[in-house]
C-alpha cells in the first residue's frame, strides 16, 4: 500500500511539473498574473508530493518491506536503523529520487522566498525548473522505479554494499546533490533571462545567493566524499582523479567561476553574456556528472547498476538541456546589451583572469575525463588517464591563479593600481619567502617544488589577512577604531577572506601529505613493533567480534613515541555474511593536523597479519581548507545586502554599495 | 586605452592561456596515458620493457605464490595467453584465484609483469569492465563471469 502511494505521489508530481513547465510561460507571454502565479502553487505542491514519495520509500526501508524489489536488493532486516535510512539513496533508484526531491526543494524555495522577484521572471524560472523536473520524473518512472513489487517476496534482503554502510553515506550524497542540483537554479535564471531577453545587475543579485548556496554544499560534499574515501577504502588516498570525482570537480570549478563573474555583473553590470554562459555550463556539467555516474559508462563505487536504457535516457536528457540551452544562448545572447568598460588592471580584470584560469582548468579536467571514453568509442583502444596527467595539466594552471588570488580583492574596481597593491602585499610576500626558506632548510635535499608550493599557500593566506588588515587599517589607526571597522565590514568581505584563506590552507595540506607521507607495509605478529616517522606501533593482540550484521577481526595497536604511550588504534576487517564480502576499517589517530593511519590486509598461514601504516603530516588541512571555504560562503550568504534582496537597479541608493 | 585595445588584450590573454593549456594537455597525453591490454594482446604486440600499461584478465587457478615480506606472484590469463605477474604489497580484499583482476605496471627484461597497483573486483559477481569487454571481444566470455558491478575498485599500492 505504501509503495503504491509513493508511486502515485510521484506520478502526481510529474503531472504538476508538466503544468508548471507550460502554464506560467504562457502567462508570462500574455502578461496574465493569474497564470504566472500557477508556477508558485505548482512548485510548492510538487515539493509536497515528491516529499511524500520520498517518505514512502524511507518507510519501506525502515519497515524492511521485502515485497519491494529495491528494498530487497539494498537492505537487510539486521541492518542498523541509520543504514536502513541512508540505504534509501545508496542505490540507483533511490538516489535518483533524492535528486528530484532536492530539485523540488530548490523549486519550492524559489516559490516561497522569491516574492521580490518580478512576477514574469519568477514564472519563467519556475517553468524551466518544471522542465528539468519533468524530464527526471519521466526518467525515474520509466526506467528506474523504486516502488516495483516482487511477485514472490523473499524473507530476507540482500543487504547494502558494505562499503556504503558508513556515516559518510548519510552526509556525502545529500550534500553533493544539494550542490549539483542547486546549480539548476542559476541555470533556470539564465534560461529565463534569455527567454525574456532582458538582464541587468539586479538579475545577478538574485542569482548570486542561490549559486552560493549550491557552491557551499558542493564544496562540503566533495570534501566529505574525499575524507570518506580516505578512511573507508583503506589505502590512505584522498583523491584519485577518478572520473566520478572529476564529475563533481568540474561543476565546482565552473561554479566557482560563476560566483566570481556574477560579482562583476552585479557591481559593474559587465560580463553579462559570459555569466549567462557560465550558469548554463555549470549546470550542464552537473548533468554530465549525473550521466557519467548513473549511466554505467564507468565502473566505480558510485555506479550502482548498469542498464543501457538508463544511459540512453539520461543522454537524451543531457542533449536536450545542454543543446537546447546553448541554442537559445546563441540565438538570444546577442540581443543582450553589452555594458561596463574596464581596464585590464582592475578588480574586474582580476575576476576575468580568475574565470579564465578556472574554466581552462575545468576544460583540462573535462578532456582528461572524457578522452578515454571518446577514444574507446572511436578506435576501441582502452586507456586510463590518471593522476600524472592531471598533475601535469591542472597543477600548472592553478599556480598563476593562486598567485593572482591575493591581488584580486585589493584592486579597485574599474582602474586598479598594481604597484600600490604589490606594495600592500609586501608583508604577505615576505611571509611566503620566509616559509619557503624555512621549509627548504628544514627538509634539505627533499623535493624542490614542495617548499615553493608551501610559500605559495602562505602567500594566499597572507593575502587574505592583508585584505582584512587594509580594510580596517589595523596598525594605522587606534586599535578600538580598527575593531569597530572590523565589525562594520560587510560579511561578504569576511567571506571572501575566509574562502581565499581556505584555498591556501588546503594547499598546505595537499603538499605536505603528498610530499612527506611515510608508509610502512609489512607482516606483523602479536607483540611485533613497527617504527614509522618516530612512532612505535606495537601489535598487542588480534580478536574476533560479532557485529550486528558482520563478523569482525580486530587488531589492537599500542602507539608509543619516545617510550611514552600516546594512544591505541584498533583497525579491523569486517566480513559481511549477507553479501559474502569484506571491508577494511582503517583506524586513525590525529596528532594536531597530522594523522597516523593503520589498515589491515590478509592473514597469513603462520598467524602474521599484513598491515599498512601511514604517517600523514598535515593531512587534516586538506579537508579543513574546504570547510573554511564553505564557512566563507555562508558568511557571504548572511551578508545584509543579499538578505534584504535586490532592489530595482535604477532606484538603488548608492550608499548601499559604497562599502566595497 | 580604447575599447578596441582593451578587447584585444582580453582576447589575446585568453588565447595565450588556452594555448598554454593545450600545450600542457598534449604534453601530458604523450607521457602519462596508460593503455589497457590483455595477456593475448601483450603477447602479440609486446610492450617495450619499462613501458607502463594496465593488464587485465583472470587470476589463474593455483598460480598464486606468496613469498617473503608480502611479495606475491601470480599468473594472469585470458584463456588464450598467460602472463606472470609479481607484486609487493597487500592485495585487495577480494583478490581471488579464478577471478578478474586489473594490474598496473610494466614488463621487466625477463618478460615478467611487475605490478605496482592491483585492482580487484569487489563482490562475487563483479569483474572489472575492461576485462569483461576484452573477454567478450575474444569470444571467451562465459555467463556467470559478469553481473552487476556493485562495487568499488580496491587498489593496493
Say how far apart CA B96 and CA B104 lie, in whole Å: 17
pTM for this model (two decimals): 0.90
- Among A344, A393, A518, A605, which would you mutate to test the B interface (most chain B Cβ atoms within 10 Å of its Cβ)? A393
All three cell numbers of B109, joined, read: 627484461
Residues 6+ apart with CB under 8 A from A157: A64, A66, A71, A72, A73, A74, A75, A76, A77, A578
**Cβ–Cβ below 8 Å for A384 and B54:** yes
Binned at pLDDT 50, 70 and 90, residue A644 comes out as low
> In Å, how far is A288's CA from the nearest CA of chain B?
21
User: Which has the minimum average pLDDT: A173-182, A313-322, A449-458, B138-147?
Assistant: B138-147
Say how far apart CA A573 and CA A585 lie, in whole Å: 6
Task: Provide the ipTM.
Answer: 0.77
Q: Is A366 on the interface with B (CB under 8 A)?
A: no
pLDDT at B153: 35
**Cβ–Cβ below 8 Å for A356 and B148:** no
Angle between helices B3-31 and A347-378 (to 10 degrees): 40
pLDDT at A629: 97
Residues of B in contact with A359 (CB under 8 A): none
pLDDT digits (tens, 9 = 90+) for A473-490: 888 888 888 888 888 888
| Dihedral sign from CA coordinates of A542, A546, A552, A556 | negative
pLDDT digits (tens, 9 = 90+) for B75-110: 998 877 889 999 988 887 767 787 778 888 899 888
> In Å, how far is B154's CA from the nearest CA of chain A?
7
pLDDT digits (tens, 9 = 90+) for A137-171: 999 999 889 999 998 889 888 888 787 888 888 99
Closest residue of chain A to B153, computed from CA coordinates: A300
Q: Is A392 on the interface with B (CB under 8 A)?
A: yes
**Cβ–Cβ below 8 Å for B152 and A601:** no
Rounded mean pLDDT, A87-111: 93
Residue A360 has pLDDT above 70, yes or no: yes
Say how far apart CA A30 and CA B57 lie, in whole Å: 64
Q: B114-136: string of b/e by CB count within 10 Å (b at 16+)? A: bbebbbbbbbeebbbbbbbbbbe
Radius of gyration of chain B (CA): 21
Closest residue of chain B to A387, computed from CA coordinates: B32
- Among B93, B105, B131, which would you mutate to test the A interface (most chain A Cβ atoms within 10 Å of its Cβ)? B93
Rounded mean pLDDT, A247-252: 95
**Cβ–Cβ below 8 Å for A161 and B93:** no
Say how far apart CA A95 and CA A103 lie, in whole Å: 12
All three cell numbers of A134, joined, read: 519533468
Across the A:B interface, residue pairs with CB atoms under 8 Å apart total: 130
Say how far apart CA A316 and CA A370 lie, in whole Å: 18
DSSP A93-128: HHHHHHHHHHHHHHHHHHHHHGGGS-HHHHHHHHHH
Q: Can you tell me whether residue A318 is helix, strand or coil?
A: helix
Residues of A in contact with B29 (CB under 8 A): 371, 389
CA A462: distance to chain centroid?
26
- Among B14, B90, B95, B128, which would you mutate to test the A interface (most chain A Cβ atoms within 10 Å of its Cβ)? B90
Amino acid at each position: 500500500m505504501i509503495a503504491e502511494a509513493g508511486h502515485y505521489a510521484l506520478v502526481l508530481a510529474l503531472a504538476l511539473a508538466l503544468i508548471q513547465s507550460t502554464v506560467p510561460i504562457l502567462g508570462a507571454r500574455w502578461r496574465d498574473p493569474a497564470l504566472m502565479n500557477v508556477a508558485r502553487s505548482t512548485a510548492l505542491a510538487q515539493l509536497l508530493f515528491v516529499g511524500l514519495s520520498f517518505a514512502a520509500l524511507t518507510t519501506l526501508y525502515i519497515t524492511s518491506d521485502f515485497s519491494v524489489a529495491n528494498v530487497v536488493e539494498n537492505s537487510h532486516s539486521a541492518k542498523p536503523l541509520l543504514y536502513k535510512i541512508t540505504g534509501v539513496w545508496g542505490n540507483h533508484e533511490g538516489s535518483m529520487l533524492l535528486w528530484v526531491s532536492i530539485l523540488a526543494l530548490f523549486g519550492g524555495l524559489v516559490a516561497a522566498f522569491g516574492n521580490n522577484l518580478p512576477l514574469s521572471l519568477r514564472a519563467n524560472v519556475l517553468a524551466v525548473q518544471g522542465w528539468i523536473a519533468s524530464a527526471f520524473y519521466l526518467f525515474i518512472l520509466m526506467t528506474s522505479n523504486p516502488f516495483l513489487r516482487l511477485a514472490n517476496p523473499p524473507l530476507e534482503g540482500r543487504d547494502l554494499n558494505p562499503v556504503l554502510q558508513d556515516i559518510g553515506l548519510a552526509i556525502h550524497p545529500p550534500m553533493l546533490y544539494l550542490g549539483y542540483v542547486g546549480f539548476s537554479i542559476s541555470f533556470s535564471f539564465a534560461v529565463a533571462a534569455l527567454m525574456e531577453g532582458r538582464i541587468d545587475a539586479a538579475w545577478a543579485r538574485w542569482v548570486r545567493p542561490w549559486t552560493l548556496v549550491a557552491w557551499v554544499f558542493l564544496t562540503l560534499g566533495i570534501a566529505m566524499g574525499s575524507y570518506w574515501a580516505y578512511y573507508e577504502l583503506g589505502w590512505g588516498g584522498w583523491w584519485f582523479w577518478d572520473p566520478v570525482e572529476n564529475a563533481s570537480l568540474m561543476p565546482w570549478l565552473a561554479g566557482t567561476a560563476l560566483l566570481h563573474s556574477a560579482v562583476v555583473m552585479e557591481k559593474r553590470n559587465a560580463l553579462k553574456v559570459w555569466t549567462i554562459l557560465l550558469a548554463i555550463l555549470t549546470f550542464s556539467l552537473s548533468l554530465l556528472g549525473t550521466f557519467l555516474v548513473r549511466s554505467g559508462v564507468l565502473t566505480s563505487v558510485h555506479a550502482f547498476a548498469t542498464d543501457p536504457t538508463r544511459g540512453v535516457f539520461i543522454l537524451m536528457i543531457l542533449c536536450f538541456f545542454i543543446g537546447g540551452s546553448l541554442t537559445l544562448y546563441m540565438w538570444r545572447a546577442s540581443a543582450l546589451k553589452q555594458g561596463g568598460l574596464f581596464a585590464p588592471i582592475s578588480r574586474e580584470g582580476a575576476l576575468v583572469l580568475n574565470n579564465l584560469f578556472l574554466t581552462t582548468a575545468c576544460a583540462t579536467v573535462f578532456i582528461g575525463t572524457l578522452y578515454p571514453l571518446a577514444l574507446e568509442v572511436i578506435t576501441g583502444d582502452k586507456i586510463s588517464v590518471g593522476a600524472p596527467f592531471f598533475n601535469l595539466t591542472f597543477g600548472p594552471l592553478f599556480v598563476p591563479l593562486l598567485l593572482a588570488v591575493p591581488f584580486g580583492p585589493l584592486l579597485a574596481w574599474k582602474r586598479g593600481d598594481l604597484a600600490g597593491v604589490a606594495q600592500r602585499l609586501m608583508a604577505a610576500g615576505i611571509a611566503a619567502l620566509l616559509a619557503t626558506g624555512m621549509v627548504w632548510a628544514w627538509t634539505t635535499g627533499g623535493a624542490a617544488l614542495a617548499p615553493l608550493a608551501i610559500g605559495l599557500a602562505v602567500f594566499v593566506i597572507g593575502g587574505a589577512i592583508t585584505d582584512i588588515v587594509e580594510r580596517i587599517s589595523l596598525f594605522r589607526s587606534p586599535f578600538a577604531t580598527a575593531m569597530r571597522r572590523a565589525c562594520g565590514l560587510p560579511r561578504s568581505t569576511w567571506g571572501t577572506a575566509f574562502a581565499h584563506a581556505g584555498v591556501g590552507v588546503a594547499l598546505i595540506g595537499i603538499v605536505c601529505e603528498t610530499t612527506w607521507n611515510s608508509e610502512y607495509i609489512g607482516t606483523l605478529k602479536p607483540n611485533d613493533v613497527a617504527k614509522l616517522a618516530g612512532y612505535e606501533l606495537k601489535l598487542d593482540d588480534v580478536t574476533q567480534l560479532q557485529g550486528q550484521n558482520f563478523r569482525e577481526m580486530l587488531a589492537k595497536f599500542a602507539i608509543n613515541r619516545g617510550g611514552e604511550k600516546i594512544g591505541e588504534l584498533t583497525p579491523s576487517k569486517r566480513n559481511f555474511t549477507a553479501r559474502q564480502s569484506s571491508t577494511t576499517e582503517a583506524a586513525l589517530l590525529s596528532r594536531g593536523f597530522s594523522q597516523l593511519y593503520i589498515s589491515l590486509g590478509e592473514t597469513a598461514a603462520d598467524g602474521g597479519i599484513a598491515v599498512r601504516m601511514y604517517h600523514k603530516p598535515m593531512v587534516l588541512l586538506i579537508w579543513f581548507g574546504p570547510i573554511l571555504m564553505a564557512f566563507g560562503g555562508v558568511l557571504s550568504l548572511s551578508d545584509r545586502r543579499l538578505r534584504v534582496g535586490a532592489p530595482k537597479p535604477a532606484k538603488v541608493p548608492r550608499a548601499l554599495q559604497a562599502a566595497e | 586605452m580604447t575599447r578596441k585595445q582593451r578587447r584585444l588584450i582580453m582576447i589575446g590573454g585568453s588565447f595565450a592561456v588556452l594555448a598554454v593549456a593545450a600545450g600542457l594537455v598534449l604534453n601530458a597525453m604523450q607521457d602519462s596515458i596508460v593503455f589497457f591490454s590483455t595477456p593475448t594482446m601483450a603477447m602479440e604486440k609486446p610492450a617495450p620493457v619499462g613501458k607502463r600499461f594496465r593488464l587485465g584478465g583472470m587470476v589463474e587457478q593455483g598460480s598464486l605464490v606468496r613469498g617473503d615480506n608480502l611479495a606475491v606472484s601470480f599468473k594472469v590469463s585470458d584463456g588464450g595467453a598467460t602472463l606472470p605477474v609479481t607484486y609487493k604489497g597487500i592485495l585487495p580484499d577480494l583478490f581471488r584465484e579464478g577471478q578478474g583482476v586489473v594490474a598496473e605496471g610494466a614488463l621487466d627484461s625477463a618478460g615478467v609483469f611487475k605490478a605496482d597497483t592491483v585492482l580487484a573486483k569487489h563482490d562475487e559477481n563483479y569483474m572489472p569492465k575492461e576485462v569483461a569487454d576484452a573477454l567478450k571481444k575474444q569470444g571467451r566470455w562465459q555467463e556467470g563471469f559478469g553481473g552487476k558491478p556493485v562495487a568499488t575498485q580496491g587498489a593496493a599500492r
